[in-house]
Chain A
């Protein structure tokens, strides 16, 4: 029992930051995110004996967190999504920040794309991620920010791998469009 508890404790501690970030991304509220993490830990401990491969602990516990959120918190969420997809990027429209910033006519030794990234603040980057519609934000958070493989993300979110791929592509395009708009507002471009 003690050995099992110690194993669980070590595995859990390695995942706590990612759990908290995913919870925060979903609930948009620190206290709710903390409750979600604590509740997920409790559920995880109860079924830890059923987890055969400890290597998949991270995706397993994130799956528990996602299910807990869906069953308890999503219904209670009163704040609307910060943006709607169409405000930034029309349906079927693609966007690349690089393509907008790079120009075939610039001098060889200038690099407007990197200059843009050097100017943009961390707070804007975070705000842009937080502004993503939920369906895209959850995939971008898992695959792009937390480096979780597509297959694992698909299991966590209970989505087909193809949907994860397409949402990730679209999520990134929206994210880059938001950054483009921020850059224009702040006259970086």
Chain B
């Protein structure tokens, strides 16, 4: 398995979190993270930040008023 630098690992951490990393690249990243404390911490931090951002933004649900509006729109089709 190819070894990667911390610079490359950080780049791949973001790609992994966005579901854009290939299996081979993920394995190389996993290998790096398992031996590098800084990159492991970085991964945990970015993952937690993303989850918190998604939670904060995802709280906004479709208002009931709009759901009703769409329902009547669908009935009219």
Interface of A with B (CB < 8 Å)? 5, 8-9, 12, 16-17, 19-21, 24, 30, 34, 37-38, 41-42, 45, 97-98, 102, 111, 113-114, 117, 120, 122-123, 125-126, 129, 141, 143-145, 147, 149-150, 168-169, 172, 175-176
Judging by beta carbons under 8 Å apart, are B66 and A114 in contact? no
CA distance A172 to B53 in the complex (A): 11
B36 on interface, CB distance cutoff 8 Å: no
Mask, B34-77, CB within 8 Å of A = 1, is 00001001101110111011111111111101110110011001
Q: Which 7 A-B pairs give the minimum distances between C-beta atoms? A: A125-B56, A122-B56, A126-B56, A20-B62, A16-B62, A113-B45, A34-B66
Check A38–B73 contact: CB distance below 8 A.
Answer: yes
B55: A residues at CB distance < 8 A: 122
The answer on a CB contact under 8 Å between A98 and B42 is yes
Q: How far is the CA of A30 from the CA of B50 in the complex (A)?
A: 25
Are A144 and B52 in contact, with the CB atoms below 8 A?
no
Chain B residues with CB under 8 Å of chain A are 14, 18-20, 38, 41-42, 44-46, 48-50, 52-63, 65-67, 69-70, 73-74, 77
CB-CB < 8 A to A24: which residues of B?
A: 60
Q: Give the dominant DSSP class at B's interface.
A: helix
Cα–Cα distance between A125 and B63 once the two chains are bound (Å): 21
- The listed residue (B42, B46, B52) touching A125 by CB distance below 8 A is B52
Q: Indicate which residue in B42, B61, B77 contacts A45 across the interface (CB closer than 8 Å).
A: B77
- Residues on A with beta carbons closer than 8 Å to the beta carbon of B60: 17, 20-21, 24
- In the complex, what distance in Å separates the CA atom of A175 from the CA atom of B56? 14
